[in-house]
Amino acid sequence: MMADLSGIISELNSTGAPLSALFLSFIVFSFIGWLYESTICALANYGHFANSGFLLGPCCPIYGVGSLACWFLLRDIPNVAVQFAAAALVCSAIEYGVGAALEQITGARFWDYSKFPFNINGRVCLYGAALFGAGAVLICRIAEPALLNALELMPPTILAAAAFACAALLAIDTAFTLVSWRQLSQKLELLRIELADKVNESLKDASDSLLDRVPDAALDSAAEIKARSGELNSWLAEMSDGAFEAVRGKVEMPSFIAEGKQNLRLVVRHARSIAQRAEISTPEKLKTVLTRRELRFFNAFPEIKLKAYEGIIRATNLKERAHELFYRR
């Protein structure tokens, strides 16, 4: 362990730059990455500025990590083409690893390149690799040497103090962000429970009217009931949300679904209208309210997907509400 730590320190010292200067360069490239994501990427994809990035502040650490990784590993490669190819691979490996780790830890996919050609599981793509490779070449050959030279002109005490202040702010930002993410996850779970209860209530209130709407000719044997309810269940399965498990259970029960597709369609249409009314009317009546700090994740990552809560997010229009909150005129 000590040998590994000594090796890392030795590698850092081999750059000839103080650790405080290297850390500040990490902060600078993290800020540049945030600026790139929040302006160029956001304007190109969504037509407006967006405070992108997982953290609350103007910082995307993955850009700082990628920049320094390429600087440490690739700065001595003389051939530009080889350096570009190597940088594209290094940056793609970092992006893929971070994306996979975030999905595993948070259960969310924050970005998705599935629409781009030559992508790998939607986490990286050739287009992004080329952009990062080109940027890394500029960093290795121009930006990082110039930045380190400028930072080394500062008095060591001021340099160390600035690095310490940035590290403290980054730690505080990370702590607040993690708290916000945890609160978002907890409230989404509460919304799931609330929405399921509302759907259950709607179906319970509508059960009598469903019976009244089905003709007497529709009543038949239990075998016919099971066969017809299977078709209804397949529609319910397409709703693909845990909140509507209650719907599936309730609609599977009726003993009046029997002969004739016309009668079955009548029940399906009525059940669908009940579920949709419960779904559409829910956001304004829910007790669980998300704050601006929690909704900001949907603004920072408009394509974010939380596997366990996608149906809840759609049903309560959270992404649309976040957009209105941050871009109301």
Which has the higher per-residue pLDDT, 238 or 119? Answer: 119
Token pair listed for 243: 């909140």
**DSSP secondary structure, 50-94, as one string:** ---SSSSSS--HHHHHHHHHHHHHHTT---HHHHHHHHHHHHHHH
pLDDT tens for each residue of 287-327: 677 888 888 888 888 888 888 888 888 878 888 888 777 76
What's the pLDDT score for residue 120? Answer: 95
Predicted confidence at residue 86, as pLDDT, reads: 97
Task: Provide the 8-state DSSP code for 46.
Answer: H
Q: How many CB atoms lie within 10 A of CB 205?
A: 11
**236 or 95, higher pLDDT:** 95
Spatial separation of the C-alpha atoms in residues 54 and 122, rounded to whole Å: 18
Give the least confident one: 14-28, 76-90, 171-185, 268-282.
268-282
Average pLDDT of the residues in 119-131: 94
* pLDDT averaged over every residue in the chain: 78
| Token pair listed for 179 | 């708290």
Contact criterion met (CB below 8 Å) for 30 and 64: yes
Q: What digits encode the pLDDT tens for the residues 152-195? A: 899 999 999 999 999 999 999 999 999 999 999 998 888 888 87
Q: Write the pLDDT tens digit of every residue in 234-265.
A: 544 454 454 445 444 444 444 444 444 455 55
- Average pLDDT on 22-44 reads 92
Beta bridge partners of 258: none
Query: What band does 52 get if pLDDT is binned at 50, 70 and 90?
Result: confident
Query: Tokens 């079955």 appear where?
Result: 264
pLDDT over 90, % of the chain: 42
Highest mean pLDDT among 61-75, 180-194, 267-281: 61-75
* pLDDT, average across residues 143-160: 93
51 pLDDT higher than 60 = yes
Position with higher pLDDT, 208 vs 160: 160
pLDDT at 284 over 60: no
How many C-beta atoms lie closer than 10 Å to residue 110's C-beta? 20
Q: What angle do CA 240, 245, 249 make, to 5 degrees?
A: 130
Closest-CA residue to 316 (of 162, 141, 191): 191
pLDDT of residue 67: 95
pLDDT at 213 (0 to 100): 55
What percent of the chain stands above pLDDT 70?
67
For residue 119, the cross-strand partners are: 125
Buried b (16+ CB within 10 A) or exposed e, 10-24: eeeeebebbebbbbb
Residue 200 pLDDT greater than 50, yes or no: yes
**DSSP letters for 233-247:** HHHHHTT--GGGHHH
